Structure 1
Amino acid sequence: MTATTLFPAARETPATTARRHPRIVSIAGSDPSGGAGIQADIKSISAHGGYAMAAITALTAQNTRGVQQVHVPPAAFLRAQLDALSADITIDAVKIGMLGSAEVMEAVGGWLAQTRPAAVVLDPVMVATSGDVLMPPEALAALLALLPHTDLVTPNIPELGALLGRPEAGDWAQAVAQGRELAAAHNVRVLVKGGHLPGEACLDALVEADGTVHEFTAPRIHTANTHGTGCSLSSAVATLQAQTGDWVESVRTAKAWLVGALESSAVLEVGAGAGPVNHLHGLWGSAAPALDSFSRLLWNDCAPQRQAIFGLEFIRELAAGTLHRDHFAYYLAQDALYLGAYSRVLARASALAPTEAEQKFWASGAQGCLDVELALHRDWLSRYPIESPQGPVTKHYVDHLQAVAFAGTYGEVVAAVLPCYWLYAEVGRVLHADYLRYDGAHPYGSWLETYADDDFAQATATAIGFLDGAARNGSGAERARMREAFAHSAQYEVDFFDAPHRQLGAPAARP
C-alpha cells in the first residue's frame, strides 16, 4: 500500500525524520529472556538510532529453550496503550510482532486504520525459533485482515506457507513464488526470508506488490544463537525505513547488520538453548577492552581445559616419573612434527604484525621453534627412537592453526597460537615445582628443567600483551573470532597431552 497520514502538516516526511532519531512503536509480546519480542525490538531500534516505544500484546514465560506459558491481556488494554501513544507522540514507524489472539489483531487493525502510520512492518510471529506455536490457528483470518494496513510483511518460510494456506516451500524458487502470490493477493510488500532453507548462502527477497523482486544474499552464519532473529530484523527495517524512505536500502542495511549480530553472538553466552543475537555489536565493538581484560577473559574461558590437563594420565605420570618411555617418545615425535608447522604460523603472525617489535618477536619465535625441533631430534629422540607419523590430534591442531593463519586477521592468529605459549608455561610451572620436590633421580628430570625457562615465561607475557593490544584495536566481531580461535587451540592443547595414551593405550596392553 501507499501509506498517507491523518494530519500531514503535523508529521514529518522520511527526508525530515532522517535528521533526528525516528520514533518507532513496537507492538509485540514480551520475552523475559531478552532475546526476542519487545526486548529484542527495543535493542534493535536503539542500535539503528531510533527512539523505541512499546505496546505489549502478550506476556510470555520463556527462555532460550522454549516458551512455557503465554498470557494475553485484554485487547481493550492494548488499545488503550496505543491510543495513549498516538495522542501524545508523533510515530514515524510501527513494527508489529506477536499478536496473541484475534481480538488483539482486531484492536491493532482498528488503531492502524485510525492513525495510519507512515511505515508499518508486520512480522507474523506464528512459530518461535524453539518450535513453539505462538498463535492459535483460528486467528489466521484476523492476521490476514491486518495486511491492508501494512507496508511490509516479513514471514519466514513456514509462516509464508501458513499465510497462503499451503505447505512450506521446499526451495528458494518456490519460496519466491509464494512471496509473489502473497504480495499480489494483498497488495503488500513481502520480505521472503530463506534462513530455513539449506545451503551456505542465506537468501532474502523483497517482493513488491507488482511482483518485482530484489534479492539479497549473505553467507550463512553457523551459530545456535538465532533466538529473535525475525523480531530483530523486522524492527531494524522499520527503523531504517523511517530514516531512508527506501525499502530496498532499508532491507539491505538491516540484513548486513543482522549478519554482524549473528557473527558476534557468541560473546553474550546467554542460556543453554537458542541464544540471542548481539543487537549492540556495533556499539560494543567500538568499546575496546581496557588493559588486560581481554586476556583475563580468555584465561577464565580456558579454566576447564587447564583443569583437564592436570587430570590427564600423561601429565600425572610425567610428574611422578612413572611415564612409560613409549608414551614419552610418542609425545616427543608428535611435538617435533607440530613445531615445524607452528613455526610457519608464527612467521605468518610476524608478516601480519602492525609494529616492528611484534614482527621481530614472532619471527624470533618461529626460528626458536625450528631450533627446538632440531634439538628434539638430536638430543631426545635419539634416546627414545620411535617411528611415528603425524597423529590425528597433531594433524587437527596443525590444520586449525594453518586455517586461522591463512584466513584470519593478526589478532586471530595471535589468539590461535597463544595457548601453546600460555598453557605450556602453566604446565611447566606446576610440573617443575613437583620435580623440585621429587626424591631421587627423576627419569625425565632434564626435560622438566626446560619448563622452568625464564625466557619462555617472559615470552609468554609478551605474547599476552600483544593479544590484548590486538583486541583493543579490533572490532567486536573480530574479538569474538579471536575468542573462538583461542578456545579451539586450548582444547587441542589438552588433546595433544592426552594423545600418547589414547593412541598407544596402556603399556601392559601392548606387546
Structure 2
Amino acid sequence: MSARPSRPRVLAIAGSDPSGGAGIQADLKSIAAFGGYGMAAITALTAQNTRAVDGVHAPPAEFVADQLRAVSDDIAVDAVKIGMLFSAPIVEVVADWVRRTRPAVVVLDPVMISTSGHRLLDAAAERAVLELASAAHLITPNLDELAALVGAPRAASWSDALDQGRRLSRQTGARVVVKGGHLAGPSAPDALVDGDDVYEVPGERVESRNTHGTGCSLSAALATVRADGATWEDGLVRVKAWLTAAIREGERLWVGSGNGPIDHLHALDPRTSADRENGSWARSAWDRGAAVRADILAVAFVRGMADGSLHRDHWAEYLRQDAHYLAGYGRVLRRLAELAPTTDDRAFWAASAEGADLEVERLHRRIVGEDVGMPAPVTVGYLDHLERTAARGDYAETVAAVLPCFTVYADLGRRFAPIERAGHPYAEWLDAYGDPQFLHTSVLAESVASRVADSASHEQRRAMERAHDVSLIWERDFFDEAWRGTEVSSAYTATDPGHVG
C-alpha cells in the first residue's frame, strides 16, 4: 500500500441541490475535477432548480453530528469544505467537530447571503458562522457576506473589497479570498488576502447566465488543490482558470431555463472546447496560464530587460543562473530524446539539447565567464522539478514540463523584438528570443505536445497539465529570482509536481 494516498480525501459539509448546480452536488463535482475523493455530510435538503428555491428541510443538528462522526471515525480527512449550515445549532455542531478533529485544511464558504441579496441565516446563526471562521484556514465570502462579516456596507470598489478582506483576515486569523466578479467593469479579479498581504489574480469577465454554484465550486476546488500540495496562491491561480473555463462551458450543458450551472467536468472531455477551438492542447495550456503569464510580464526584471533599464548586476545574476539552468535543461532534453517514440521526435529533442549547450557558450560564457557561482534556490527547485519529471519516464508528462521554456521565451521575443535596437543594452538577448528559427522551434514543441496529448489517457493529460503549470510558475520565479537576488519568492514550494497540485 502507498504511504501517501493517490487522491486527497475531501469532506464537503453543505446543503443539497437536487438540480445539481450548487451545494453538495457542485462540491463533489469540483473535488472530482481536481482528482480528489469526495465525501459529503448533508446539512439541509432543498427543493430548487435553476430558477428558484422552493423549500428547505434541515435535519436535526444531532444527525449532522452523526454524519461527521461516522466519516471521521473511519476515514482520514485531508481537507474540509464547509458551505451552507442553515441554523445556529448546526453551525455549533460543525464548529465543535472541526475543533476536535483539527483537519489540516478547512475552507469556509460562509453561505449567509445569496447573490441576489437575500439573507439566508438569522442573526444568531450569522454570529455563529463568524466564530466558526476563526477555526478555518481560508474563507471565501461573496461581497455581501464579506461586508456582513466585518459589519460594513457592501464594497463598491475593488480597493474597498480588499480593505474588508484585510479586516476579516486580521479579525479571524484566516486567509480570505476576495472575489471581484460582482463588481462593475470588464475585469473580474480575485485576491488572496493574508493579514495585510494581498496576492491578486487578474481575470476576465465572462458574460454568461451559467454562474449557479460558482461560490460552492471555488471553495471545494481550493480545498482539494491545497490538500494535494498546492500553495494557496498557486491553488487560486489554477482554480480561477478552471472556474473561468467552467463558466464559459456551462452553456453547452443546456441545463435549466434560469441561472444555469457551470460545467465542472469540462476538462474531462477528451478534447476540451479550448482544444476544439484552437486545435491545440498546447494552446489551451497557454490560455490556462494567463494569470501566471501576466505575473511574468509584471516582474521588474522582465520590464527592465525590455526597456533597457535593467541594472547590469541583475543581468549578470540572471546569466549565471541561466547557465546553471541550461546545463540541467539540456540533460532533460537528452532524456526526452531517449524516451521519444519516433525518429522525428528523437531528432527534435536532440537538436534542442544541442541548442541549449550552444546558447551557454554563445552568450553566457562570453559575458560572465566560467565562474557562474552556485545555483540559487529557485534554479535548484526548477531543475529538480524537471529532472524528477523526466526520471519518472513518462514521455508525455516530460514534454509538457519543458514546454514553457519554449513558449514563454518565444512570447517575450514576439512582444519585444520590434523595439528600437540602437543603444539597447540587451538587444542581442531579445534578438535571440525573437529569432525566427527559435520561434519556429517553439511552434514545433507545441505541436509535439499537442500531438502527444491527443493520444494520451485522461490520467496522462492530467499529469501533463500539472507538469506544464508547475513549470510555468517556476519560469515566473526564475525571472523574479534574478531581480531579488538570493531572496526566494513566495511561490517557492515543494518541487515535486505531485506535491504542488
Are 2:115 and 2:142, in contact at CA under 8 Å, matched by a contact in 1? Answer: no
Secondary structure of 2:47's aligned partner: strand
Partner of 2:141: 155
Residues 123-144 of structure 1, C-alpha deviations (whole Å, 9 max, x = no match): 0111234554322233111001
Residues 170-210 of structure 1, C-alpha deviations (whole Å, 9 max, x = no match): 000000000000100111100001111011110111001x3
Secondary structure of 2:185's aligned partner: coil
Are 1:129 and 1:227, in contact at CA under 8 Å, matched by a contact in 2? Answer: no
Correspondence 1:234 to 2:223 = no
Instruction: Decide whether aligned partners of structure 1 residues 201 and 269 sit closer, same or farther in structure 2, where only a CA change above 3 A counts.
Output: same
Which segment drifts farther, 36-45 or 126-135?
Answer: 126-135
Report the CA distance between 1:148 and its aligned residue.
Answer: 2.1
Partner of 2:260: 275
Which of the two has higher C-alpha Rg?
Answer: 1
Correspondence 1:261 to 2:261 = no
| Structure 1 unmatched ranges of 5 or more | 1-11, 289-472, 474-511
Partner of 1:112: 98
* Structure 1 CA distance for aligned equivalents of residues 272 and 240 of structure 2: 23
Report the CA distance between 1:20 and its aligned residue.
Answer: 1.3
* Structure 1 CA distance for aligned equivalents of residues 268 and 115 of structure 2: 26
Given the two structures, how large is their TM-score scaled by the length of structure 1?
0.52
Which aligned pairs between 1:17-416 and structure 2 lie closer than 5 A? 20-129=6-115, 131-208=117-194, 210-286=195-271
CA RMSD in angstroms, aligned pairs only: 2.0
* Structure 2 CA distance for aligned equivalents of residues 46 and 179 of structure 1: 29
Are 2:112 and 2:126, in contact at CA under 8 Å, matched by a contact in 1? Answer: no
Report the CA distance between 1:245 and its aligned residue.
Answer: 4.2
Are 1:129 and 1:228, in contact at CA under 8 Å, matched by a contact in 2? Answer: no
Are 2:87 and 2:122, in contact at CA under 8 Å, matched by a contact in 1? Answer: yes
| Structure 2 unmatched ranges of 5 or more | 274-453, 455-501
Are 1:28 and 1:37, in contact at CA under 8 Å, matched by a contact in 2? Answer: yes
Are 1:182 and 1:190, in contact at CA under 8 Å, matched by a contact in 2? Answer: yes
Residues 27-73 of structure 1, C-alpha deviations (whole Å, 9 max, x = no match): 00000110000000000000100000000001111111121111111
* Structure 2 CA distance for aligned equivalents of residues 102 and 116 of structure 1: 20
User: What letter is aligned with 1:137?
Assistant: A
Secondary structure of 1:282's aligned partner: helix
Are 2:12 and 2:27, in contact at CA under 8 Å, matched by a contact in 1? Answer: yes
User: What letter is aligned with 1:91?
Assistant: V
Which aligned pairs between 1:454-493 and structure 2 lie closer than 5 A? none
Instruction: Decide whether aligned partners of structure 1 residues 169 and 130 sit closer, same or farther in structure 2, where only a CA change above 3 A counts.
Output: closer
Instruction: Decide whether aligned partners of structure 1 residues 191 and 120 sit closer, same or farther in structure 2, where only a CA change above 3 A counts.
Output: same
* Structure 1 CA distance for aligned equivalents of residues 206 and 174 of structure 2: 29
* Structure 2 CA distance for aligned equivalents of residues 67 and 131 of structure 1: 14
Secondary structure of 1:169's aligned partner: coil
Percent of aligned pairs with the same amino acid: 53
Report the CA distance between 1:287 and its aligned residue.
Answer: 7.7
Are 1:66 and 1:132, in contact at CA under 8 Å, matched by a contact in 2? Answer: no
Residues 53-102 of structure 1, C-alpha deviations (whole Å, 9 max, x = no match): 00000111111112111111100000000001000000000000001000
Partner of 2:388: none
Report the CA distance between 1:251 and its aligned residue.
Answer: 1.1
Are 2:266 and 2:272, in contact at CA under 8 Å, matched by a contact in 1? Answer: no
The count of residues paired between Structure 1 and Structure 2 equals 275
Report the CA distance between 1:286 and its aligned residue.
Answer: 3.3
Are 1:129 and 1:226, in contact at CA under 8 Å, matched by a contact in 2? Answer: no
Are 2:117 and 2:144, in contact at CA under 8 Å, matched by a contact in 1? Answer: no
User: What letter is aligned with 1:90?
Assistant: A
